[in-house]
Chains A and B, each alone.
Chain A
Amino acid sequence: GAGVSQSPSNKVTEKGKDVELRCDPISGHTALYWYRQSLGQGLEFLIYFQGNSAPDKSGLPSDRFSAERTGGSVSTLTIQRTQQEDSAVYLCASSLETAPSSPLHFGNGTRLTVT
């Protein structure tokens, strides 16, 4: 596709349920990033992938959060046993490489609401 695609665009779930958020990066982009945008915390880094490897997971808030990337392409962010504080917009971005000269292309995000 022309840009980074995220699905679903909106997700409402009950507290305690698991959710999966999907990101389709731009074809050929080796680097993929997950960020979270919430009212109280602003934009926070969660994790990034170089290929299928995740060299930096330091932003994941708890062990309920995990992410994987397969085939150097699609990535899935999984949140287990969701809590109300997980409500936020989850943003995915990709770039040709991890160097700062390579701009990040963001998707429109998945708005997660935990009731």
Chain B
Amino acid sequence: AQSVTQLDSQVPVFEEAPVELRCNYSSSVSVYLFWYVQYPNQGLQLLLKYLSGSTLVESINGFEAEFNKSQTSFHLRKPSVHISDTAEYFCAVSSIQGAQKLVFGQGTRLTINP
């Protein structure tokens, strides 16, 4: 079984400031890792994922996340945020075996203030 902990339920930051959203996971088997984003009044969208290879993965809108196996973490970072990044962010894992049965964290609400 897997579990995901997102340490911060809410993160307020000022525009153009850096941000880190923390995610730790627990699993008895190897996993794949994902970050999903839910913008206001929209459905969940995949932001980025780690399947294998380089432990640093990037999204098209400037977010990056680094898989740290020893610390069982997959923190999400962005060096300079924009108002449009305001959303709820969900970290998720799935076993490498079988289907994408995702186990989600509780979510982190990122609020960008001007």
Residues of A within 8 A of B (CB): 3-4, 31, 33, 35, 42-45, 48, 50, 55-56, 59, 91, 93, 95, 98-104, 106-109
A48 CB contacts on chain B under 8 angstroms: 99-101
Q: Does B17 contact A (CB under 8 A)?
A: no
Give B106's nearest chain A residue, CB to CB. A42
Residue in contact with A98 in the complex, picked from B51, B100, B103, B106, CB distance below 8 Å:
B100
Interface size on B, residues (CB 8 A): 24
B107 CB contacts on chain A under 8 angstroms: 42-43
**In contact, B43 and A31 (Cβ under 8 angstroms):** no
**In contact, A100 and B51 (Cβ under 8 angstroms):** yes
**In contact, B51 and A4 (Cβ under 8 angstroms):** no
Q: Give B22 Cβ to nearest chain A Cβ, in Å.
A: 16
If A43-B90, A50-B99, A101-B51 touch, whether A4 touches B43 (CB-CB below 8 Å) is: yes
Residues of B within 8 A of A (CB): 32, 36, 41-46, 49, 51, 90, 92, 94, 96, 98-107
**In contact, A106 and B44 (Cβ under 8 angstroms):** yes
Residue in A3, A42, A99, A102 with the greatest tally of chain B CB atoms within 10 Å = A42
Q: Give B61 Cβ to nearest chain A Cβ, in Å.
A: 16
Residue in contact with A91 in the complex, picked from B43, B49, B94, B106, CB distance below 8 Å:
B43
Once bound together, how far apart are the Cα atoms of A99 and B102, in whole Å? 12
If A106-B43, A108-B42, A109-B43 touch, whether A56 touches B101 (CB-CB below 8 Å) is: yes
Once bound together, how far apart are the Cα atoms of A96 and B44, in whole Å? 17
Q: Give B111 Cβ to nearest chain A Cβ, in Å.
A: 19
Residue in B32, B45, B100 with the greatest tally of chain A CB atoms within 10 Å = B100
**In contact, A31 and B100 (Cβ under 8 angstroms):** yes
B99 CB contacts on chain A under 8 angstroms: 31, 48, 50, 55-56, 98
Residue in contact with A103 in the complex, picked from B43, B46, B98, CB distance below 8 Å:
B46
A91 CB contacts on chain B under 8 angstroms: 43-44
